[in-house]
Amino acid sequence: MSKKFFGTDGVRGTVGSDPMTADFAMRLASAAAQVLVPAGGTVVIGKDTRLSGYLFESALEAGFVAAGADVLLIGPLPTPGIARLTQELDADLGVVISASHNPYVDNGIKFFDRSGSKLTDEVERKIEEHLKKPAITLESQSLGKAKRIDTARSRYQEFCIASVPDGLSLAGLKVVFDGANGAGYKVGPRTLASLDAEVIPIGCSPNGKNINDGCGTTAPELLQLTVPAVRADVGVALDGDGDRFIMVDENGELIDGDQLLYILATDRHRQGRLKGPVVGTVMSNLGLENALKAEDIEFMRANVGDRHVLEALKKTGGVIGGETSGHMIVLDKTTTGDGLICALQVLVVMKETGKPLSELAAGMPKYPQTMVNVRTENPFDPDSSSEIQAAIAAAEAELADSGRVVLRASGTEPVIRVMVEGEDHDQVVSIANRLATIVAESAA
């Protein structure tokens, strides 16, 4: 059975339009409580810095309390911080109000189970079944209660610091930190400063509307300009909810998730600490696969989405996986994708090896890769079009064994993503544009 509301990462949409309304949020809380929270159980609710976070925080609180759950309100904190606190506070459910890298006019709601892991498709389907019924309100003696937790940020900060080897200091590293005006705007700079790094913050002045606006992982240009301008050693950028990151080397060059995955995997491999295969996705650069193969490191691809990467890691016993976008999971440090903790692991490699980020990333040559997003008005499955499949087959024959073609529907936006990579940049761009045109015509 397909899901109506849950996408790749929770429920998401434009605020004020279905499903991102106060009424839906309250009903969603009621449904989730009935599936996942026992009588008298506890729910942790955190959010990013969007103006609409206040609205959905109140609506969710009402829905959970009415269903008999106690609510702990965390306030702005990175998504992985909520996953961690769900475990630490022995809660039955963690809830994050965020639309991640989307603009402030959007928002979303995603859940973690009591182990700090994202929900399975099966559990999400059960919640959707309960959404068909009205929200419940118990009798007064059975209602839950709510309170704010003032120590949440410091708890998560201590957890991040503990991911660094005992006694290791980041003294001597000058770091420009871009918080995307989002959930990590306070905890990021404070964690780095606590580890003795010299920190220059940008994108750390949220006003409710400027999240991801010209800053963060989706707009790293300011970070790329700032790092060499202030002669910093490295730049770190989070996205709006802090579960993904990218870095910038000392020359202002962008280092993406594939390169960062290569750095962490090869460092652990050389130290004999790498377990299982490294897991990427169907969108991971072919250069990553080939570079890891040259180091005798097993690599496998999962479907797009950090939840699929996590599932593959758990099945294979792996500990490191991630996406080109900067979603990365290091299971020997945390249970879910965590931009700040993963960035710290890269900084540790820099500190322990004494090598600049540019040198660490140089071992992974990137194949030219082009992504074209084709916007669609209605749901559309490119696999159902014989014309599109014939065009893909022709493109793959043209690339031979030196490239790849991937078409997929986005789980968070009404677009079909057309990705082509290969050894020749001009050929890759030409094929991607040709396929995008065919997809647009077929979807019209």
What the block records as the tokens of 274 is: 């790498």
Q: Please tell me whether residue 257 adopts helix, strand or coil conformation.
A: helix
Distance CA 337, CA 340 (A): 9
Burial of residue 294 (CB within 10 Å: 0-12, 13-18, 19+) is exposed
Nearest to 50 by CA among 170, 182, 172: 182
Distance CA 263, CA 269 (A): 10
Distance CA 52, CA 106 (A): 9
Out of 98, 100, 163, 385, the active site residue is 100
Distance CA 324, CA 351 (A): 24
Is 384 a residue of the active site?
A: no
What the block records as the tokens of 112 is: 């973690």
Nearest to 404 by CA among 380, 373, 427, 437: 427
User: ω into residue 19 within 30 of 0, thus cis?
Assistant: yes
Beta-ladder partners of 70 = 42
Q: Cα angle at 368 between 367 and 373, to 5 degrees?
A: 125
**Which residue's entry shows tokens 């962008």?**
254
- Residue 426 CB neighbours (<10 A): 9
Active site residues per annotation: 100
